[in-house]
Amino acid sequence: MKNLKGIFSALLVSFNEDGTINEKGLRQIIRHNIDKMKVDGLYVGGSTGENFMLSTEEKKEIFRIAKDEAKDQIALIAQVGSVNLKEAVELGKYATELGYDSLSAVTPFYYKFSFPEIKNFYETIIRETGNKMIVYSIPFLTGVNIGVNQFAELFENEKIIGVKFTAGDFYLLERLRKAFPNHLIYAGFDEMMLPASVLGIDGAIGSTFNVNGVRARQIFELAQQGKIKEALEIQNVTNDLIEGILGNGLYQTIKGLLEEEGVNAGYCREPMTKDLTPAQKQIVKELKAKFLS
């Protein structure tokens, strides 16, 4: 089994202008992550993969291409969560057959599901696929908050091996770390990686690692060595870059930065804005010159 700790890029997907998947571009993004960013793994089908705007067949296609390109070079996690449980199971079976090291699923969203319903959602995917599961908790987008006691209930299922914690609630993160020393906890906000690392996370999953993965690893490893001042200096530079990215359009700007690196990262998928304006493209050039040269 692959080591599931460390730095995971939340994989971006290259789309053509008409919204179809650009396979060649997607393969280039994967190679860039493996060869240049030296990530430990990829989180495929997440928010960053524009996943919730795609059809089931498109999601499968992305899982297939990512596994075919990465082979066994790095760890692969497939995000299969969907408010359509049947789709989540279908995707989970598909990714498991492809050899993904673990599944992950966002907490079911939109409807106000009860905790027993959420628990049943995870247990159904696990029962049907036999694979491991990482809970994807991202309350600011889903509105779903899971507390320590609820995590304890979920973790009673030994196939639920961890959580991707995309939240700024460091009290909850500290409580989770203390309560579950043997479960994997991944930080989900790249701009808060240092405080999360100090609290003892096992790894991080982030969109900006597609272009800033080397700095992300430095922050993580320096914090583990107790070199907080040095780690903070790199987090400061990282956050200057992230501030620039967030102010210019998150996924479009990361794609623009990849294009500057010679990677055909392509367009975003509507209803997201497909492309940057000329003024935004100029900002990408400035970010590239300042932070990635």
Note whether 46 binds ligand HMN by CB under 6 A. yes
Told to check if 137 binds ligand HMN by CB under 6 A, we report no
CA-nearest of 159, 207, 155, 157 to 181 is 155
Of 20-28, 148-156, 185-193, 282-290, the window that binds ligand HMN (rule: CB under 6 A) is: 185-193
Taking CB under 6 A as the binding criterion, the range among 46-54, 114-122, 220-228, 233-241 that sits at the site for ligand HMN is 46-54
Got the DSSP string for 55-120? -HHHHHHHHHHHHHHHTTSSEEEEE---SSHHHHHHHHHHHHHHT-SEEEEEPP-SS---HHHHHH
To the nearest whole angstrom, how small is the minimum distance from the Cβ of residue 254 to ligand HMN?
8
**43 near ligand HMN, judged by CB under 6 A:** yes
* Least Cβ distance, residue 292 to ligand HMN (angstroms): 16
Give the one residue of 191, 202, 259, 260 binding ligand HMN; rule: CB under 6 A. 191
The CA–CA distances, whole Å, from 244 to 152, 179, 180, 189 equal: 38, 36, 35, 15
Cα-based angle 36, 40, 46 (whole degrees, multiple of 5): 95
Largest CA distance in the chain: 52
Active site residue 110: no
Dist CA 101 CA 96 (whole Å)? 8
| Residue with Cβ nearer ligand HMN (62 or 205) | 205
Distance CA(277)–CA(220), nearest Å, equals 34
* Options 40-48, 111-119, 263-271, 276-284: segment touching ligand HMN (CB under 6 A): 40-48
What is the token pair recorded at 270? 């509507």
Whether residue 190 is annotated as binding a ligand: the answer is yes
Among 207, 212, 235, 238, binds ligand HMN (CB under 6 A): 207
Does 48 interact with ligand HMN (rule: CB under 6 A)? Answer: yes
Looking at this protein, which amino acid is placed at residue 230? E
Residue of closest CB approach to ligand HMN: 46
Q: Does 189 bind ligand HMN (CB under 6 A)?
A: yes
Q: Which stretch binds ligand HMN (CB under 6 A): 27-35, 114-122, 183-191, 224-232?
A: 183-191
Q: Which is nearer to ligand HMN, 52 or 115 (CB)?
A: 52
Cα gap 100→126, rounded to integer Å: 14
Amino acid identity for residue 233 in this structure: E
* 136 among known catalytic residues: yes
DSSP annotation of 268? P
The three-state secondary structure class of 7 is strand
Residues that contact ligand HMN, how many (by CB under 6 A): 17
Residue 47 sits in the site that holds ligand HMN (CB under 6 A): yes
9 binds ligand HMN (CB under 6 A): no
Say which residues have a Cβ less than 8 Å from residue 96's Cβ, sequence separation at least 6. 103, 129, 130, 131
Report the nearest approach of ligand HMN to the CB of residue 190 (Å): 4
Q: Which residue is catalytic, options 136, 186, 251, 267?
A: 136
**Closest separation between CB of residue 95 and ligand HMN, Å?**
15
Sign of the CA dihedral running 19, 22, 25, 29: positive
Enumerate binding residues for ligand HMN (CB under 6 A): 10, 43, 46-48, 166, 188-191, 205-208, 242, 246, 250
